[in-house]
Amino acid sequence: MHYLVTGHTGFKGAWMVLLLKSRGHEVSGISLDPLPGGLFELGKVSEHLKHDFRLDIRDAEKLADALQVVNPDVLIHMAAQPLVRYSYLHPRETFETNVNGTLNVLEASQNLSNLKARLIITTDKVYRNVNQVEGYVEEDALGGDDPYSSSKAMADILTQSWVKSFPAMPTAVARAGNVIGGGDVSPDRLIPDAIRAFTKRQPVSIRYPNAVRPWQHVLDCVNGYLALVDMLLKGEGLGEWNFGPGPESFVEVGAVVEQAREFWGDGASVEIADGEHLHEANLLALDSTKSFKNLGWSNRLVYPASLKWTIDWEQKLFEGMAAMDITQQQLRQFDALA
């Protein structure tokens, strides 16, 4: 089976490519260039691709041309502007990438001759957040206060509208959230910021120590996406689906950093950042019962195992082990958990 992953150079996209390859699939990618020092670069992910297009999904013409060349069996759309704080600084880029880019992907893929299934990835932040303790279910209202969240909610609604207006191959929307794992170098993310501090022997500075986040390993997330793709290939699994961890993995930011510090050792320390900070949700969790019951999917790594795998990956890299060797080792361990 030939998969096309948009956003394949990103953290989650690179893990998706390598998981697909480990399971015997052919993979192509469309994305911007990767951030230096991340999994895609260090893991030499480009060597595993049939086609590796570097383009901006806002360019509808170039995107359509690339899709015609690749002509995949399955399309997984992950390309996005994924950062909340960046979206405040660059709102136009965020909306154009996340909304218009998704529209371009849907339109350009509509009549591909080989395409059998499409999966559009949005986020847990598409839900109208009312700080409820129980997780949001797929039927809850969408919303979003910041440019990132609202742009992804718009992309989610756009996809739902598109597939109802222009039915073609089976299409679904997947919503997941706070994923962690080795090789993430994105700015303004807790664990990558912590790793950078640990390796430089500097204190980790955190903004919202009491904010609660659902901590999920990236492999559990992308494995859920692939379980949904398997359903789509059977002509089932349409609609919207949540992929998040259970309540045991809802942990305060401060506690997570302390746990990461203990796993890392070597004198790592933590401090609370002073000053005013941009708005971020204090609590946001998903109810993934639908995926548990209908897809037979569940998280294989629950907190703190998901954090331990992440710190182990980064420590081995810091100690000189090759990124691809560490990653392949974790891929084998993950599939053995099934």
pLDDT at 178: 85
Bridge partners (DSSP) of residue 171 are: 118
- On the CB side of 148, CA atoms within 13 Å amount to 20
Residue located via tokens 């599939």: 335
14-23, 26-35, 51-60, 184-193: least confidently modelled range: 184-193
What three-state secondary structure class fits 43?
coil
285-286-288 Cα angle (round to 5): 150
DSSP string, 237-273: --EEEEE---GGGEEEHHHHHHHHHHHH-TT--EEEP
- On the CB side of 154, CA atoms within 13 Å amount to 18
pLDDT at 277: 44
276 pLDDT above the threshold of 80 = no
Q: Tens digits of per-residue pLDDT, 110-143?
A: 999 999 999 999 999 999 988 887 899 999 999 9
Cis status, amide bond into 82, omega within 30 of 0: no
Residues 6+ positions from 71 with CB-CB distance below 8 Å? 112, 113, 114, 115
Q: Tens digits of per-residue pLDDT, 135-162?
A: 999 999 999 999 999 999 999 999 999 9
- Higher pLDDT, residue 283 or 70: 70
251 pLDDT above the threshold of 80 = yes
188 pLDDT above the threshold of 90 = no
Residues 6+ positions from 143 with CB-CB distance below 8 Å? 126, 127, 128, 129, 149, 150, 153
- Tell me which amino acid residue 162 is: W
The continuous run of DSSP H or E covering 4 comes out as strand 2-6
Neighbour tally for 273: CB within 10 Å: 11
- Higher pLDDT, residue 315 or 276: 315
DSSP string, 55-86: --TT-HHHHHHHHHHH--SEEEE--S---HHH
Domains of the chain, first to last: 2-336 (3.40.50.720)
Rounded to two decimals, the pTM is 0.95
